[in-house]
């Protein structure tokens, strides 16, 4: 899907985090994307694919402040996730999982009242545009294995370990 950010001052930057470099995109309405791409080129391609109707400008200063708030101060800045109603319901359910804990795809499907939609729930989790802050990394398989993660299992393991501290 392609989205237009209906907000003013859409900006982006690449910033260092405890889990590698992130690509963060935001507007005056909040953060719309936080990813951990393999490289800057793939990070920009993801932004352009997801928000093809939006022109972002680079804003390293504001991005650095946001990243400090998130990873050093432990604050949750305003989010502006853009997706379908179903995706938004999943992403809201993810935000209810306490830091340092995990849940399963099945439990998320049950939490939104759609217990048979486990596969669709998994797809919506995989489409999460705001990694870490919408904690898709806290969802594991019913058998206890980590399952997948858009930015790699090493990144998922690192985030989960970091949150336990």
DSSP string, 49-71: HHTTT---EE-HHHHHHHHHHHH
**Residue from 23, 32, 136, 155 carrying the catalytic annotation:** 136
23 as an active site residue: the answer is no
- Specify whether the CB–CB gap between 122 and 79 falls below 8 A: no
Q: Which residue spans within the chain are E strands per DSSP?
A: 11-17, 20-27, 30-35, 57-58, 103-104, 139-140
Q: Catalytic site residues?
A: 136
């Amino acid at each position: 899907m392609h989205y237009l950010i209906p907000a003013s001052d859409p900006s982006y930057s690449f910033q260092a985090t405890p889990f590698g470099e992130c690509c963060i995109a935001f507007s005056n309405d909040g953060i719309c994307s936080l990813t951990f791409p393999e490289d800057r080129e793939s990070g920009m391609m993801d932004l352009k694919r997801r928000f093809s109707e939006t022109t972002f400008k680079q804003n390293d200063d504001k991005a650095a402040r946001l990243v400090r708030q998130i990873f050093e101060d432990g604050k949750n800045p305003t989010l502006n996730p853009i997706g379908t109603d179903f995706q938004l319901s999943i992403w809201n359910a993810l935000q209810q999982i306490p830091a340092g804990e995990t849940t399963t795809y099945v439990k998320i499907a049950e939490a939104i009242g759609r217990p048979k939609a486990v596969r669709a729930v998994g797809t919506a989790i995989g489409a999460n545009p705001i990694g870490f802050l919408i904690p898709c990394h806290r969802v594991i398989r019913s058998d206890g294995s980590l399952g997948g993660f858009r930015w790699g299992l090493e990144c998922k393991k690192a985030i989960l370990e970091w949150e336990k501290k």
